[in-house]
Amino acid sequence: MKPKVYLTRLLPPTVMERLAREADLVWNDADRVATRAEIIAGARGCDALLCNITDCVDAGLLAACPGLKVVANFGVGFNNIEVAAATARKIPVTNTPGVLTAATADMAFALLLAAARRVSEGDRLVRSRRWDGWHPMQMLGADVSGATLGLIGFGRIARALAQRAQAFDMRVIYWNRSPVSAAEAAGATGASFADVLRQSDFLSVHVAYTPETHHLLGDAQFALMKPTALVINTARGPIIDEKALVRALQTRRIAGAGLDVFEREPQLEPELFGLENVVLAPHLGSATIGTRTKMGMIAVDNLLAVCAGRRPPNCVNPEVLPPV
């Protein structure tokens, strides 16, 4: 018997083909986020829910779909899922770590370069047809080579970003909750949270979003930073107090930002649209066809394993699994 799977949104073709082969598949084929009612109607009676980071899977939704054996998230972050509620129902929750590390680190470095060298602003100038040619003092940006990159959190993506930065002759410092071995640090230097804020020319956020990291960066933290510093966020929007960031950018308390994630996606603080010193991207960190395909395959591996009574490769609440 193939497991019955509800998928909340279309995934890359090879993932869809595999799901069609290996599962009894129902999916939301509308090109938009499925509503809560649609997810409940689709997932009720299914063995597996294959959901996205834009789907809120909470206690109420799980209670409305009592047959679910697994919730497989298409994404490494899983703050969209009430894991405690799944754990209480003994439902494994899975995610897709590892395969999006390089793509997300690339995106963080792309935003860093774009913000430093004012790429979006320059693109807007050229498109406006108001560019009057090269001149010596036009759109002078920040030097990347020789600058200090500060990392808030030092997990897989932060370490991949550190490698990229080191190839650009940057000095890398990091703050991490748990100790980091010299091998993992690979030339980056650990520092206190406040020292990372004070010393960074570029500050990039790489912690998971939890109640503890909500608004980790706000007015008080921006006040510690250099007025020339730029903030990069490819993690989760609510780690930064977006209103405080707008204030810091408007008053030039900091020099700029490169943002791939926002506090209330797809809504943004309206002032961000008018600020020249911020580069805005629509949550593209893992958005390459190769990466999204690998994420889909991992999500499918996870759900098929649970449905076949095996341990899923990536379970975020392993306490619900039978002991090995």
For residue 234, the one-letter residue type is T
CB of 75 to ligand DGY, least distance (A): 3
- Specify whether 283 is catalytic: yes
- Distance, in Å, from the CA atom of 213 to the CA atom of 88, rounded to the nearest integer, reads 24
Mind spelling out the 3-state secondary structure of 173-223?
A: EEECCCCCCHHHHCCCEECCHHHHHHHCCEEEECCCCCHHHCCCECHHHHH
Marked catalytic residue, from 22, 38, 265, 271 = 265
Q: Does 100 bind ligand DGY (CB under 6 A)?
A: yes
What is the greatest pairwise CA distance in the chain?
70
Any idea what DSSP says for residue 264? B
- Distance, in Å, from the CA atom of 54 to the CA atom of 13, rounded to the nearest integer, reads 20
Nearer to ligand DGY, 153 or 201 (CB): 153
Interface with ligand DGY in residues 50-79 (CB under 6 A): 53, 75-77
Marked catalytic residue, from 236, 263, 269, 292 = 236
Nearer to ligand DGY, 92 or 285 (CB): 285
CB of 8 to ligand DGY, least distance (A): 14
For 155, how many CA atoms within 13 A lie in the half-sphere containing its CB?
15
Nearer to ligand DGY, 71 or 225 (CB): 71
Rounded-to-5 percentages of helix, strand, coil across the chain: 40, 15, 45
- Specify whether 206 is catalytic: no
Nearer to ligand DGY, 139 or 289 (CB): 289
For 265, how many CA atoms within 13 A lie in the half-sphere containing its CB?
21
Q: Does 94 bind ligand DGY (CB under 6 A)?
A: no
- Dihedral (CA of 156, 157, 160, 165) sign: negative
**Cα angle: 132, vertex 136, 137; to 5 degrees:** 90
Residue 260 structure tokens: 């791939």
CB of 286 to ligand DGY, least distance (A): 4
- Specify whether 44 is catalytic: no
For 191, how many CA atoms within 13 A lie in the half-sphere containing its CB?
20
* Residue among 42, 92, 238, 285 that touches ligand DGY (CB under 6 A): 285
Binding mask 15-54 vs ligand DGY (x if CB under 6 A, - otherwise)?
--------------------------------------x-
CB of 261 to ligand DGY, least distance (A): 7
Nearer to ligand DGY, 42 or 75 (CB): 75
Interface with ligand DGY in residues 218-277 (CB under 6 A): none
Q: Does 286 bind ligand DGY (CB under 6 A)?
A: yes
Which active-site residues does the annotation give?
236, 265, 283
Task: By CB under 6 A, name the binding residues for ligand DGY.
Answer: 53, 75-77, 100, 285-286
